[in-house]
């Protein structure tokens, strides 16, 4: 909502997330690195780290925007849908 209390709660939550974001980004890069050029989908990383996939996906998007993770194409996810795979290595020829 737009109440003062809601805005304060949102600001507090954002502050807590921002304090751990650097650590979480390093954790994501470390988790994707062993996959090399073949990359991995967020479900793989979630399983490796024992975290829910909804924690992994936003971090992947943030790292793509920062140029630290690269989209390398889509693969079948655990539910049978195509999901983006990422790699810490830039695909040859630029973007995927």
Residue 45 CA, chain-centre distance (Å), reads 9
**85 and 40 Cβ atoms separated by less than 8 Å:** yes
How far the first Cα of the chain sits from its last, in Å, is: 39
Q: Is the pLDDT of residue 88 over 90?
A: yes
Tell the residue number behind the tokens 């994501």, with chain if given: 28
What pLDDT sits at residue 3? 74
The model's pLDDT over 30-87, given as tens digits with 9 standing for 90+, comes to 999 999 999 999 999 999 999 999 999 999 999 999 999 999 999 999 889 999 999 9
Q: Is the pLDDT of residue 1 over 70?
A: no
The model's pLDDT over 2-43, given as tens digits with 9 standing for 90+, comes to 677 766 665 555 555 556 668 889 999 999 999 999 999 999
């Amino acid at each position: 909502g737009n109440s003062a209390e809601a805005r304060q709660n949102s600001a507090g939550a954002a502050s807590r997330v921002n304090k751990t974001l650097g650590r979480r980004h390093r954790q994501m890069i470390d988790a994707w690195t062993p996959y090399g050029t073949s990359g991995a989908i967020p479900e793989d990383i979630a399983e490796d780290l024992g975290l829910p996939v909804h924690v992994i996906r936003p971090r992947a998007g943030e790292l793509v925007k920062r140029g630290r993770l690269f989209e390398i194409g889509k693969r079948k996810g655990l539910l049978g849908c195509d999901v983006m795979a990422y790699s810490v290595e830039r695909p040859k020829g630029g973007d995927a």
